[in-house]
Structure 1
Amino acid sequence: MEYVSLGSTGTKVSEICFGTWRFGKESNGTVETDRKTAHDLLDTAYERGVNFIDTANVYGDPNGTAEEWIGDWLADHDREEFVLASKVYFGFDDGPNDRGLSRKHIRAQIEGTLDRLGTEYLDVYYIHRWDDETPIEETLRTLNDLVREGKVNYLAASSMAAWKLTKALWTSDIEGLERFEVTQPRFNPAYREPVADYLDVCADRGIAVCPYSPLEGGFLTGKYERDAAGPEGSRGDLYEWDDRWDDRQWAVLDAIRAVGEAVDATPAQVTLRWLADQREFQCIPIVGARTTDQLEENLGASEIDISDDQYDRIAAAAE
């Protein structure tokens, strides 16, 4: 496993981040990843050199389950070996102050997150959404205070419009506040155009990009075929995504498959390698998995190389 700087910061993270959104998540009446499997996955990630773990206060059913299971696992490990990321926006209840990015809500949620994870601080704290009802100055000042208090090391932002990210960065600049150092958009070889402006901002400001859905909901694993039903139990099968992917996205998958054959790697590995090799900005894809075998395959992306021509072939496939 290679380690890279987290954007413009001095912190080093594994070039692949392990995502835990499946931990404790119920789907069709069953838990996608139970506690034992969650700990097995964390063991596998750790053994393969992953030190970057991503979660959120609302991951799992009930909310907070993912953080609790990570905290249980961390109790048997050295906390300082890991870079932990969590998120704030959504809450656990339905009260008027139980969601959003107000000072009151952030203060309440950070304490719960730290308690469930069994740690005194987070390395990365994301705003999970933009809050149109709270001035960005209030949100940033509250987050800035958390950094000053030692409860958070770096601030981060998940999905939002490029102009909102720019507004937040500008506010940090003029007010002398901590800025967002990490972002988490949806981004992969088959999903680029909708976030192009957002990524341009990240490249210009030296902000790390940690994309979720790097395999486009499983599409870029290569398990789907044109004009065919998805494999039994897959998202394409369960959610009837017959028309989800267009011709350009299929062309991207074709290019990824061809590169995979050339370098003896799976489509998932080639996709993750392409993301980690981004030229304009630091890209650290977040991978999740249902099984340790799936995780082993995904982490195998750290052991392959693709040439500049192969990188370009994938990049050009959707044009």
Structure 2
Amino acid sequence: MEYTTLGRTGTTVSQLCFGTWRFGRETGGVVETDREQAHALLDAAWDHGINFIDTANVYGTPNGTSERFIGEWLDDHDREDVVIASKVYFPFDGRGEPGPNDSGLGRKHVRAQIEGTLERLGTDYLDLYYIHRWDEETPIEETLRTLTDLVREGKVHHLGASTMAAWQLTKALWKSDANGLERFDVTQPLFHAGYRDDITDYLDVCADQDLAVCPYSPLAGGFLTGKYERADEDDPTAFEGPHGARGSLDDRFEDYYLSERGWRVLDEIRSVADELDATPAQVSLRWLIEQQSVTCVPIVGARTVDQLQENVGAVDLSLSDEQFDRIVDARYDESGARWGHRS
């Protein structure tokens, strides 16, 4: 495993982060990753050198299950060797019907949720605490002051921002600087090879401010693993895939991942994978790792130990400039216009 410094922080992390959103999550009454499977995956990630783990207070059924699984696993490991990120924003279902202060980024909710997160993880601090979404109802100054207090109390080391517009990120950074508050050091956008131009402005902000980027869904919900095939040349939303694969289960799959651009990028990724004797998943992850303008640490959410082992293989690859650029160029037609996307 190779390691990198997380943006402008002094924290060193593996080039891949292990995501745990499936831990304890029930889909159709079936738990996607139970406690035993979760610990096996964490063991495998650790054995491969992954020291960076991503979770959130609302992951799992009931909420908090993912954090609890990780906390139990941590009992057998040195806490100082592991970099842990969690998040706050959404209503937490552990209190029954959410009350008026049981969601968002107000001081009361953030204060309550950090205590629960630390207790479930069995730790005194988080290495990284993300706001899970932008809160339209709470002034960003209140959120930043609350988070700054957590940093100064030693409960949080660094702050992160997940899923927001470039202008919102810019506003938050400006408010931090103007008011002498802690600022976001890490971002977590949806970002993959087929989606790149949709967040150009956002990535430009990250590059200018030296913010690390930890993309979620770096394999486009499984689309960029190559397990799906196009079923109709005239309809980019028509596809065939393995029975029970995510594309047939997730209503967002078509809107977020299926497009003319996506298929053409996937074709080029497959071509590069053949040249490198690698898999499309490995090439897709390596393309992110090799971003030049930002430190990019993809979050992989493997379902099985075998999938995780395949993903880790991305660390051992190296793309030539020509291969990297071919994947970028696949997003454009002969006239230089970007292929369309539904979302």
Is the CA contact 1:229–1:242 (under 8 Å) kept in the aligned structure 2?
A: no
Deviation at 1:242, TM superposition (A): 5.9
Amino acid at match of 2:292: R
**Uncovered stretches (5+) of structure 1, i.e. residues with no partner:** none
Quick check: 189-198 or 137-146, which moved more?
189-198
**TM alignment of 1:167-246, pairs within 5 A:** 167-227=171-231, 228-239=239-250, 241=253, 245-246=258-259
* Residue number in structure 2 paired with 1:263: 276
In structure 2, C-alpha distance between the alignment counterparts of 1:192 and 1:232, rounded to whole Å: 29
CA shift digits 1:174-208 (9 cap, x unpaired): 00111000000000001122211111110110000
Secondary structure at 1:268's aligned position in 2? helix
State the aligned residue count. 319
Amino acid at match of 1:246: S
Deviation at 1:316, TM superposition (A): 1.1
Residue number among 147, 162, 165 corresponding to 1:161 in the alignment: 165
Secondary structure at 2:144's aligned position in 1? helix
* Residue number in structure 1 paired with 2:335: none
In structure 1, C-alpha distance between the alignment counterparts of 2:114 and 2:185, rounded to whole Å: 18
Secondary structure at 1:217's aligned position in 2? helix
In structure 2, C-alpha distance between the alignment counterparts of 1:166 and 1:317, rounded to whole Å: 30
* Residue number in structure 1 paired with 2:300: 287
Amino acid at match of 2:5: S
Residue number among 241, 260, 273 corresponding to 1:247 in the alignment: 260
Deviation at 1:30, TM superposition (A): 0.4
* Residue number in structure 2 paired with 1:97: 101
CA RMSD of aligned residues (A): 1.1
Amino acid at match of 2:245: S
Amino acid at match of 2:193: P
Residue number among 127, 130, 133 corresponding to 1:129 in the alignment: 133
Secondary structure at 2:21's aligned position in 1? coil
Secondary structure at 1:144's aligned position in 2? helix
In structure 2, C-alpha distance between the alignment counterparts of 1:296 and 1:8, rounded to whole Å: 29
Amino acid at match of 1:177: L
Give TM-score, length-normalised by structure 1.
0.98
**Uncovered stretches (5+) of structure 2, i.e. residues with no partner:** 232-238, 333-343
Identity %: 68
Amino acid at match of 2:183: R
In structure 2, C-alpha distance between the alignment counterparts of 1:209 and 1:229, rounded to whole Å: 32
In structure 2, C-alpha distance between the alignment counterparts of 1:242 and 1:30, rounded to whole Å: 23
Is the CA contact 1:189–1:315 (under 8 Å) kept in the aligned structure 2?
A: yes
Amino acid at match of 2:109: H
Deviation at 1:13, TM superposition (A): 0.3
Secondary structure at 1:129's aligned position in 2? coil
Is the CA contact 1:202–1:281 (under 8 Å) kept in the aligned structure 2?
A: yes
Q: Which runs of 4+ in 1 moved over 4 A?
A: 240-244
Deviation at 1:91, TM superposition (A): 2.6
Is the CA contact 1:91–1:109 (under 8 Å) kept in the aligned structure 2?
A: no
In structure 2, C-alpha distance between the alignment counterparts of 1:133 and 1:292, rounded to whole Å: 41
In structure 2, C-alpha distance between the alignment counterparts of 1:26 and 1:198, rounded to whole Å: 33
